[in-house]
A = this chain, B = another copy of it.
Amino acid sequence: MHNKEIELLIPELRQEAGLRLQKMVSSMEESGLDAMLLASNANVFYCAGRFFRGYVYADRSGRRIFFLVRPNCFGEATDVVAIRKPENIPAELERLGIPMPATLGLELDVLSYSEIERLRKVFPDATIGNASEAMRRCRMTKTPYELKLMREDGMHQMAVYQKIPQLYKREMTDVELQVEIERMLRLEGNLGFLRVAGNLMEINLGSVICGDNADAPSPYDFAMGGAGVSPALPCGACGDIMKVGQTVMVDMNGCFNGWQTDMTRVWSIGDPGRLARDAHACSRRILRELEKMAVPGVAVCDLYERAHAIVEEEGLDDYFMGHRQKAGFIGHGVGIELNEQPPITPRNRQPLLGNMTLAIEPKFVIPGVGAVGVENTYVVTIDGLDNLTPFPEEITDLL
C-alpha cells in the first residue's frame, strides 16, 4: 500500500507517470496552453495517483511539480514542494528555474469562481485558458495501466452481481435489495463513494429500479431516473415492495481502486411479459452491433444513430431511454469519474479513439413493468469493443 506516497513517483510506476504526462503535454499543445495548474480531486488523482490538498503544475516542456498544502508527509522527492497557500507558487517556480507561463490552463469548469479568481491573481500576467477541457480530452483515452485497473473493477463488480439472486427475498423493497448489494460491494472492496463529474449530480452507491419507479422523471442526467426515497436525493430506488411481473434493474457502483466500471443487469420477479423481453433482446442486439462497429475513426454520433435505427426498426421508440422523460444519450466515457468524455449523443461528431472506455447502455422503460436493457463498459480497439464486464446478459427470474 502506498497510501502515504504520491503513487506516480514510485519507481514501478515511472513509465505510467511518463505516459500520463506525455498525454497532458499533447493536450496542452492542442489547447495552446503553456502550462496547467490543477487542483480538482479527479485531476490531482490522475496526475499523482493519490489525493492531496494542493496543486499540480505541469508545463509543455514536460516539467511537473506537486505543490502540497496538506498532508505534508511525502518526504523529499524532487518533484514535491510544500506550500502554505497558492500565492507561494510563483516564488517556488522561480526558485526551480521554471519560467512563468504566458498562457495558463485552470480548471474553469470545476473550480469555483472564487477559487479561479484567487488563482488568476497569483498569475496576473498570464492569459487564462480552460484546463478542464484539456484534461477531459487527456483522460478520455486510457493507458494500459488504467485499463488494467478498470479490468479489475469489472471483475469485482461481476463477482458481486453474481450474488444478487441470493440476496433477493420475497416481499423485499427495492431499497432493501439495494442495501444488501451495497454491503456485498463494500465487502468486495468497493470504496463506497461514487465519483461523478459536475457539482449538480448527486447519487448514493447507485440505483436499483423496479416497476413504474423507472419512469419517475429525474433532475439529474442519469440514463434512468427513479424517484428515490426522499426529495433530498430524488434518484433511484423508492422503497416500494418489488412485485410479480416487474423487472429489477441494477446499476450499481463499480469503483474499487479509483477507476470504475459501469454495468447494468436486469432481473425479474416472475415473467415481465413479452414487451419487456423483446426490448431487452433489442438492447442486446444493439450492443452486439456496436461492439463490431465501434472502431477508431467512427463518429460517436454514428453509434447513437445505429442504435436508434435498430430501435425504430423494432418499433420500440416510445420506450427507448425513458418513456415520460427521455435521456438524450445511450452511453458515456467512464474512468476516474462516472461520466467522462465522450457522451454518446446524436450530435457528437467526434471520432472514436483507441483506448477510449465507453459505458454503453441502451435501455428501455416499459410502463407498469420497469426498465430493461444491458450496460457494459468497453474499451475501443481496432477490432471493435472489448468488454470489461462480460457477465450473462439474460433477464433471470428471482422467484
Binding site for B on A (CB under 8 A): 2-4, 7, 39-41, 45, 49-53, 70-73, 106, 108-117, 130, 132, 175-176, 178-180, 182-183, 186-187, 189, 191-193, 195, 199-200, 202-205, 216-220, 225, 227-234, 238, 255-258, 324-325
Q: A110-B112, A227-B3, A229-B189 are known contacts. Are A71 and B199 too (CB-CB below 8 A)? A: no
- Residue pair A258, B232 in contact (C-beta under 8 Å): yes
**Closest Cβ neighbor of A228 among chain B residues:** B3
A109 to B113 alpha-carbon distance, docked (Å): 6
- Residue pair A193, B182 in contact (C-beta under 8 Å): no
A168 to B295 alpha-carbon distance, docked (Å): 51
Choose from B180, B218, B231 the contact partner of A7 (Cβ within 8 Å): B231
- Residue pair A51, B219 in contact (C-beta under 8 Å): yes
Q: A112-B199, A114-B109 are known contacts. Are A71 and B231 too (CB-CB below 8 A)? A: no
- Measured CB to CB, the closest approach of chain B to A186, in angstroms, equals 4
Q: A40-B199, A192-B205 are known contacts. Are A51 and B232 too (CB-CB below 8 A)? A: yes
- Residue pair B231, A41 in contact (C-beta under 8 Å): no
Choose from B178, B202, B238, B325 the contact partner of A70 (Cβ within 8 Å): B325
B-side contacts of A71, CB under 8 Å? 217-219, 225, 325
**Closest Cβ neighbor of A220 among chain B residues:** B53
B-side contacts of A39, CB under 8 Å? 200
- Residue pair A3, B116 in contact (C-beta under 8 Å): no
Interface of chain A: mostly helix, strand, loop or mixed: loop
**Closest Cβ neighbor of A52 among chain B residues:** B219
Give how many copies assemble into the complex: 2
What are 30 of the A-B contact pairs (CB < 8 Å)? A2-B231, A3-B216, A3-B227, A3-B231, A3-B234, A4-B227, A39-B200, A49-B231, A50-B231, A51-B219, A51-B232, A51-B234, A70-B217, A71-B219, A73-B217, A73-B324, A108-B112, A109-B112, A111-B113, A111-B199, A176-B187, A179-B186, A182-B186, A191-B230, A191-B233, A192-B205, A193-B202, A230-B257, A231-B258, A232-B258
B-side contacts of A257, CB under 8 Å? 230, 232
Residue of A7, A40, A234 contacting most chain B CB atoms (<10 Å): A234
Choose from B45, B191, B204, B325 the contact partner of A193 (Cβ within 8 Å): B204
B-side contacts of A216, CB under 8 Å? 3-4
**Closest Cβ neighbor of A120 among chain B residues:** B113
Choose from B3, B186, B232 the contact partner of A191 (Cβ within 8 Å): B232
**Closest Cβ neighbor of A217 among chain B residues:** B71
Choose from B70, B113, B179 the contact partner of A112 (Cβ within 8 Å): B113
- Measured CB to CB, the closest approach of chain B to A61, in angstroms, equals 26
A71 to B231 alpha-carbon distance, docked (Å): 13
A189 to B230 alpha-carbon distance, docked (Å): 10
- Measured CB to CB, the closest approach of chain B to A55, in angstroms, equals 11
A189 to B325 alpha-carbon distance, docked (Å): 27
For the A-B complex with A113-B116, A114-B130 known, give 15 more contacts whose Cβ atoms are closer than 8 Å.
A3-B234, A7-B231, A45-B232, A49-B231, A51-B202, A70-B217, A70-B218, A73-B324, A112-B112, A112-B113, A182-B192, A189-B229, A191-B232, A232-B255, A232-B258
Q: A3-B216, A179-B186, A218-B71 are known contacts. Are A199 and B233 too (CB-CB below 8 A)? A: no
Residue of A113, A182, A200, A204 contacting most chain B CB atoms (<10 Å): A113
B-side contacts of A229, CB under 8 Å? 189, 191
B-side contacts of A234, CB under 8 Å? 3, 50-51
